[in-house]
């Protein structure tokens, strides 16, 4: 009890906080994106740039900043969980992309499945008609 501060002792000074690692990662990401955009514009020198091009670049940078601002508040990165989440979202994106690319073919599949499940639903497949 001898080390416990008394009511008249001055309050202890709070420990200095180090900058969050997420802030450093976020700043590096924003700077790398800016440098990548600059380098990309240098690789395509013959193209005339319009104000619409600059507006699109600004919009995309704002979207990247807004989407990546969550890195500021991260305390630590669970690499395994992050990799799993990235793979899940990549898989969802691939499935959506394939569905969009083969939407005409999938309409025929949908019609055949509906004809199988619902009596009286007519589905055509080429010259034959499935009933």
DSSP string computed for the chain: -TTSPPTTSPPPPPPPPPPPHHHHHHHHHHHHHHHHHHHHHHH-TTSPP-HHHHHHHHHHHHHHHHHHGGGGG-----HHHHHHHHHHHHHHHHHHHHHHHTHHHHHHHHHHHHHHHSTT--EEETTEEE-
For residue 83, tell me if it sits in a domain.
Answer: no
Query: In this predicted structure, what is the pLDDT of residue 125?
Result: 58
Report pLDDT for 2. 62
pTM over 0.75: no
Residue 66 lies in a domain: yes
Q: Considering only CA atoms, which of 125, 129, 128 is closest in space to residue 105?
A: 125
Please give the mean pLDDT across all residues of the chain.
78
| Within-domain flag for 109 | no
| 97 — pLDDT class (breaks 50, 70, 90) | very high
Q: Does 115 fall in a domain?
A: no
Instruction: Please indicate, yes or no, if residue 117 is contained in any of the structural domains.
Output: no
Q: What's the rounded mean pLDDT across residues 66-76?
A: 70
> 126 or 88: which carries more pLDDT confidence?
88
What is the domain range of residue 50? 21-77
Task: In whole angstroms, give the CA distance from residue 121 to residue 42.
Answer: 58
Residue 42 domain-assigned (yes or no): yes
Instruction: Please tell me the predicted confidence (pLDDT) of residue 95.
Output: 96
Residue 59 covered by a domain: yes
Q: Is the pLDDT of residue 106 over 90?
A: no
Q: Are 106 and 99 in contact (CB under 8 A)?
A: yes
- Residue 129 forms beta bridges with which residues? 124
């Amino acid at each position: 009890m001898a080390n416990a501060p008394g009511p008249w002792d001055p309050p202890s000074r709070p420990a200095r906080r180090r900058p969050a690692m997420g802030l450093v990662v976020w700043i590096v990401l924003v700077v790398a994106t800016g440098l990548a955009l600059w380098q990309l514009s240098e690789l395509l020198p013959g193209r005339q740039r319009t104000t619409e091009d600059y507006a699109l670049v600004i919009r995309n940078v704002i979207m990247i900043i807004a989407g990546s601002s969550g890195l500021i508040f991260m305390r630590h990165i669970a690499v395994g969980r992050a990799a799993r989440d990235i793979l899940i979202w990549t898989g969802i994106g691939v499935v959506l992309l394939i569905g969009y690319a083969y939407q005409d073919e999938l309409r025929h599949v949908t019609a055949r499945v509906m004809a199988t499940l619902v009596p009286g639903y007519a589905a055509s497949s080429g010259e034959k008609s499935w009933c």
